[in-house]
């Protein structure tokens, strides 16, 4: 049974969905810790309500290898899931958790990836570009931003009626459907 740490910065709908999924499938994994860099983020309330330990960390703590590796070891973490985490993962974490850090990105990478492309910005860019489809990408995290091996993608259509809000709703529903299952399939079997 894997122990997961979820890193998140915002609302935390993916974090909550993953926590709930593994509460229902405890033979595969358990979310042992939620790490957040924003003291007021919704993800903290969601995790606390579900009885999952949380840690709020500063940027300098994130970049402190002794601090971070001890925190993760205290909770016996063997897999890191980035679910809307908006800070760069330091190299020491990528080295210590090689091929065990997974991210979800709300577009079909390499389209609409790279610096500044997160959450709402991605959906605005998708609508502005007038593309006919978008989707989600679940990928390993490496030293290069949005560039690790792609494990899974799912698509949805974009029509002339779509707005950034409606695209976001479609993306969240794909994320909800697939992210926990893909974590389980690639890391917990
Ligand atoms: C998700 O849509 C996720 O794909 C995106 O942030 C959102 C977080 O929502 N991640 C990125 O943009 C990473 N570049 P949530 O806080 O409700 O889970």
Atom of ligand 1 nearest to the CA of 168: 2
pLDDT digits (tens, 9 = 90+) for 65-75: 999 999 999 99
114-127 pLDDT, tens digit per residue, is 888 998 999 999 99
What was the pLDDT predicted at 120? 92
Least reliable range by pLDDT among 72-76, 158-162, 174-178, 185-189: 185-189
Which atom of ligand 1 is nearest to 136's Cα? 4
Q: What atom in ligand 1 is closest to the CA of residue 117?
A: 14
Determine whether 107 is exposed, middle or buried from the number of CB atoms within 10 Å of its CB (0-12, 13-18, 19+): buried
* pLDDT tens per residue, range 128-168: 999 999 999 999 999 887 779 999 999 999 999 999 999 99
Verdict on whether the full-model pTM lies above 0.75: yes
Mutate to test the pocket of ligand 1, among 31, 106, 176 (most ligand atoms within 8 A of CB): 106
The answer, yes or no, to whether residue 100 has pLDDT greater than 80, is yes
Tokens of 139: 């990928």
pLDDT at residue 114, as a whole number:
87
Q: Decide whether any atom of ligand 1 lies within 6 Å of the 94 Cβ.
A: no
Of all protein residues, the one whose alpha carbon is nearest to atom 11 of ligand 1 is: 118
- Token representation of residue 61: 């703590």
For ligand 1, atom 6: residue with the closest CA: 84
Residues 6+ apart with CB under 8 A from 131: 111, 158
Write the CB contacts of 145 (distance below 8 Å, at least 6 apart in sequence). 88, 113, 114, 115
Question: Hunting for tokens 């091996």 — which residue is that?
Answer: 149
pLDDT digit string (tens) for 33-62? 999 999 999 999 999 999 999 999 999 999
Residue of 75, 105, 123, 160 marked active site: 105
139 lines ligand 1 (CB under 6 A): no
Q: Please determine, for residue 3, whether its predicted confidence score (pLDDT) is greater than 80.
A: yes
Do residues 135 and 154 make contact, with C-beta atoms less than 8 angstroms apart? yes
């Amino acid at each position: 049974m894997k122990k997961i740490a979820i890193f998140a910065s915002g609302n935390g709908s993916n974090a909550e969905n993953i926590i709930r999924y593994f509460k229902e499938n405890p033979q595969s994994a358990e979310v042992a810790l939620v790490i957040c860099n924003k003291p007021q983020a919704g993800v903290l309330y969601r995790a606390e309500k579900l009885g999952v330990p949380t840690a709020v960390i500063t940027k300098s703590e994130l970049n402190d290898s002794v601090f971070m590796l001890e925190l993760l070891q205290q909770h016996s973490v063997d897999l890191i899931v980035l679910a809307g985490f908006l800070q760069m993962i330091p190299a020491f974490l990528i080295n210590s958790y090689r091929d065990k850090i997974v991210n979800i990105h709300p577009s079909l990478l390499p389209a609409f990836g790279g610096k500044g492309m997160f959450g709402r910005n991605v959906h605005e860019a998708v609508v502005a570009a007038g593309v006919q489809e978008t989707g989600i990408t679940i990928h390993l995290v490496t030293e290069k931003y949005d560039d690790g091996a792609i494990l899974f993608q799912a698509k949805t259509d974009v029509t002339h009626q779509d707005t950034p809000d409606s695209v976001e709703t479609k993306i969240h529903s794909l994320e909800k459907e697939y992210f926990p299952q893909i974590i389980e399939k690639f890391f917990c079997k």
